[in-house]
Amino acid sequence: MVYYILYVILFSYFFNTIVTFDKILSKILSYCYVKRNDMYTHIGYTSWISGGFMSGFMSGIIDRVKGDMHYLFKKGTDLTEGEKKRKLRAWSTVIGIVLVIVQLVFTVLTLLKLYKLDILPLKYAIILDVILVIIAIYNFASQFTKTHIIGKILAVLLSGVLLYTFLFTSKVDETLNKISNVKTTTDIVDVVVLKNDKAASIKDAIGYTFGYNSTANSDDNKDAIKRINYDNTAAIKTKEYQVWLNMFDALNSGTDIQAVIINDDSLQMLYEENEDLKDSIKIIGTIKLTRKIELSASDKKVNEEPFIIYISGNDEEGEIKTIGRSDVNVLCVVNPVSRQILLITTPRDAYVYMENLNEGMKGMDKLTHAGMWGIDYSMATLNRLYECNIDYSVKVNFTGCVAVVDALGGVTINSDVDFENGWEAAPETYHFVVGENECNGEQTLAFCRERKAFLDGDYQRGRNQLSALTAVIKKLTSPAILTKYSSILDSVGNMILTSMPTSDITALVKGQLADTREWNVQKFSVGAEPDSLPSLWLGHNASMSKLYTGDVEMAKKLIDKIENGDVFNVDEYYEAEVKNIPNYNSFYKLNGISSNNSSNTTKTTSAVKETQPATTRRSVKTTAATEEEITTTKATEPATVKPTEATAAPTQKTTEATAATTTAAAAEAPKAEAGNISDVERTAP
């Protein structure tokens, strides 16, 4: 009776499984994805393939297999030579069917994972489904023929491929959930005292009065006070301030307060504004606060509708946080239908209006300070400035930048200037030439961070960041890079934070697989003029950048054109718009000279070399032989660049500065105020 039971369990089960395999899969899919009919409309004809073939084929061999199964557990000593062959054939059939079982299990698991990710276009899903069904039918049917060895080999190989695919897609799913479904963030709060204070820990300072700024990170301050009281079984004395300067003046006097509670990001920002502060205080304790976050996101169909992504970057390393200054502020405007991408960069010190009603704060300040309240406040500030609606945000720090580029296998950055980075941009010095530069992660970071090598500092750095971002986008959208999709996501799991849902990220990949047309990436930099202006966040005057009204208005028009589906070149559109406008207020000034000339962009790097520590100087691998020749001049004189074909050739104005000339400098327009944006016409850096 044993062989009859085994026959019924194995043979009958797998005959019916193969015949109805696609129907079972269809039911599972319809249960999981009842609203997505497009994912399983192809089930009918694949079932016809399996059912029609199997019903005719199996009728002629059932009796033979049934007879073979009779000898499956017979002792070899009791069998004739013919019966031994039938026993061997029976075991071969059973082993083959078991291998097909394994193949079917991995097939179902892999297809379910792929359909859950929704990463394959429908046509590829149909092709994959049909191929897997045909192979399963062949592998099963071949176990009853002389080609059973081939079927077994195929089953083993396919099972291995399917297992790898399942693990691969599971890793992708896990990483996507990590970067797009972040529910918590960790903030660090410092407790500081004067440098010469005898207190070495928070416990030593329990008897002190602690000051804190009630208008900045108030939730962190309140939670930190609760934690200090709980950990030390005490009730510390506190005093509120609304201006940083007043609070630290009080700390220096030592009369009203003897310690300060401050968010670490705020402290780092104050260090940047006041270099002497770091030498006058010390940190005696840190408190880590984990809190829930909810990032705003859009419900747009990213393969059918235009959308805007806010890309924020800062000078931090390690795990990314939602709160902190933003040194990179780029709007990425995408139209998936026209295949147009517009990158707009805004200076970190742009003097703009911002508000945080929860903190009772509203007024003018530099853009980077909005990030101290959270990335949503930076988005709201830019929405107000450009009269747009940002749909998603992506925040990345230095560690994330290096990881992304290295995971991509490096990028090719097209630089419009020749320069070497200083030690503040990177510990190692790299030489970047005009034209294409092959860069790894560290080199890309140095390219994006350097600013002291340029006369227009932060503004050229912003244009360099756009060039690097363009290189990353081109590499990301190339068909070859899709094979590295998992490793790229895995490398940046804790270093990138985005509000874009997993479904939208996979939809973008799916759209790229379905439509391999090249993206047209355009760039535009909003210029500004340096000034000293009141800071809402600091409570006193600080270095600011007054945006040029012409550039802001141009950015609005460019955003509208991308969203309307217009296909255009930014340079050509810019020239057509402004060439007849007298005294056009913009960073790219057309005063009878070509704004393609970047002679004022790069200053001599000798000053940078003198201040940086001794390091190994390396040249970045280049694919363009042309370089600008830079003539070293006195520090008080503007750098001059020998004219070459590289400087004369037209390039995008979005990555180049206006040439400085004596005539232009003499013709500087009078200054005028217009709200928060400068009305000064740019003539020289």
Are 387 and 305 in contact, with CB atoms under 8 Å apart?
A: no
Distance, in Å, from the CA atom of 574 to the CA atom of 595, rounded to the nearest integer, reads 11
Q: What CATH code is carried by the domain that includes residue 662?
A: 3.40.630.190
Where is average pLDDT lowest: 125-134, 178-187, 245-254?
178-187
Q: SS3 for 494? A: coil
- pLDDT above 70 (res 9): no
pLDDT band, very low/low/confident/very high, at 344 (cuts 50, 70, 90): very high
Residue 239 sits in the same domain as residue 340: no
- Give the bridge partners for 547, in sequence order: 528
Total count of domains within the chain: 3
Q: Provide the 8-state DSSP code for 256.
A: S
Q: Which is more confident, 342 or 78?
A: 342
pLDDT band, very low/low/confident/very high, at 625 (cuts 50, 70, 90): very low
pLDDT band, very low/low/confident/very high, at 584 (cuts 50, 70, 90): low
Which pLDDT tens digit goes with each residue over 90-117? 788 888 889 999 999 999 998 888 888 7
Task: Flag whether 301 is in a domain.
Answer: no
Are 562 and 659 in contact, with CB atoms under 8 Å apart?
A: no
The size of the chain, in residues, is 685
Two tokens, residue 552 = 């802001």
- pLDDT above 60 (res 640): no
- pLDDT above 70 (res 421): yes
Task: Flag whether 683 is in a domain.
Answer: no
Are 456 and 527 in contact, with CB atoms under 8 Å apart?
A: no
Instruction: Note the helical H segments in 118-144.
Output: 122-142
Distance, in Å, from the CA atom of 273 to the CA atom of 172, rounded to the nearest integer, reads 41
The answer for 318, left when phi > 0, alpha when psi is -120 to 50, beta otherwise, is left
**pLDDT score, position 628:** 37
**How much is the average pLDDT of 167-185?**
73
Residue 141 sits in the same domain as residue 17: yes
Domain C-terminal end among 263, 292, 321? 292
**pLDDT score, position 31:** 42
Residue 557 sits in the same domain as residue 636: yes
Task: Flag whether 33 is in a domain.
Answer: yes
Q: Which long-range contacts (CB under 8 A, 24 or more apart) does 658-662 make?
A: 658/587, 658/588, 658/589, 658/593, 658/595, 658/597, 658/600, 658/682, 658/683, 658/684, 659/593, 659/594, 659/595, 659/597, 659/598, 659/599, 659/600, 660/455, 660/599, 660/600, 660/684, 660/685, 661/593
Domain C-terminal end among 292, 324, 354? 292
Are 286 and 190 in contact, with CB atoms under 8 Å apart?
A: yes
**pLDDT score, position 581:** 67
Phi, psi (rounded to 5 degrees) for 614: -65, 125
Residue 666's CB: how many other CB atoms inside 10 A?
Answer: 9
Are 222 and 270 in contact, with CB atoms under 8 Å apart?
A: no
**pLDDT score, position 69:** 66
Are 418 and 432 in contact, with CB atoms under 8 Å apart?
A: yes
Residue 68 sits in the same domain as residue 191: no
**pLDDT score, position 215:** 81
Instruction: Note the helical H segments in 481-605.
Output: 485-491, 502-514, 549-563, 570-578
Task: Flag whether 302 is in a domain.
Answer: no
Residue 244 sits in the same domain as residue 349: no
**pLDDT score, position 341:** 93
Residue 280 sits in the same domain as residue 323: no
Terminal C-alpha separation, the chain: 95
Residue 512 sits in the same domain as residue 636: yes
**pLDDT score, position 493:** 63
Which pLDDT tens digit goes with each residue over 296-338? 667 788 889 999 999 998 766 666 666 777 888 999 999 999 9
Name the helix (H) or strand (E) containing 399.
helix 398-407
Task: Flag whether 685 is in a domain.
Answer: no
Domain residue limits at 516: 307-678
Query: Structure pTM?
Result: 0.68
- Give the bridge partners for 237, in sequence order: 209
**How much is the average pLDDT of 399-409?**
83
- pLDDT above 90 (res 225): yes
Q: In Å, how far are 23, 468, 544 from 534, measured between CA atoms?
A: 69, 33, 9
**How much is the average pLDDT of 254-267?**
92
Cβ contacts of 242 within 8 Å, gap of 6 or more: 213, 214, 215, 539
Residue 246 sits in the same domain as residue 200: yes
Sequential DSSP letters for 410-436: -EEEEESS-EE--TTT-SSEEEE-SEE
Distance, in Å, from the CA atom of 277 to the CA atom of 384, rounded to the nearest integer, reads 34
Q: What CATH code is carried by the domain that includes residue 212?
A: 3.40.190.10
Q: Which of 476-480, 483-487, 546-550 is modeled with the greatest confidence?
A: 546-550
Task: Flag whether 319 is in a domain.
Answer: yes
**How much is the average pLDDT of 664-685?**
36
Domain C-terminal end among 250, 269, 292? 292
Are 676 and 365 in contact, with CB atoms under 8 Å apart?
A: no
Which pLDDT tens digit goes with each residue over 485-508? 666 766 666 677 788 888 888 888
Q: For the chain, what is the largest distance between any 2 Cα atoms, rounded to a whole number of angstroms?
A: 113
Residue 125 sits in the same domain as residue 256: no
**pLDDT score, position 490:** 67
Which pLDDT tens digit goes with each residue over 33-71? 444 444 444 444 444 444 455 555 555 566 566 666 666
Task: Flag whether 300 is in a domain.
Answer: no
State the amino acid at position 470 in one-letter form.
Answer: T
Residue 322 sits in the same domain as residue 471: yes
Distance, in Å, from the CA atom of 599 to the CA atom of 454, rounded to the nearest integer, reads 11
Distance, in Å, from the CA atom of 619 to the CA atom of 612, rounded to the nearest integer, reads 17
Residue 252 sits in the same domain as residue 316: no
Distance, in Å, from the CA atom of 364 to the CA atom of 370, rounded to the nearest integer, reads 10
- pLDDT above 80 (res 287): yes
| Beta strand pairing call for 361-366 and 281-292 | unpaired
Residue 196's CB: how many other CB atoms inside 10 A?
Answer: 7
Residue in the block written with tokens 């416990």: 203
Q: SS3 for 296? A: coil
- pLDDT above 80 (res 632): no
Phi, psi (rounded to 5 degrees) for 212: -150, 155
| Angle ∠(32,38,39) on CA atoms, nearest 5 | 45
Q: SS3 for 162? A: helix
pLDDT band, very low/low/confident/very high, at 668 (cuts 50, 70, 90): very low
Residue 361 sits in the same domain as residue 494: yes
Task: Flag whether 636 is in a domain.
Answer: yes
pLDDT cut 90: percent of the chain above it: 28
Distance, in Å, from the CA atom of 101 to the CA atom of 169, rounded to the nearest integer, reads 21
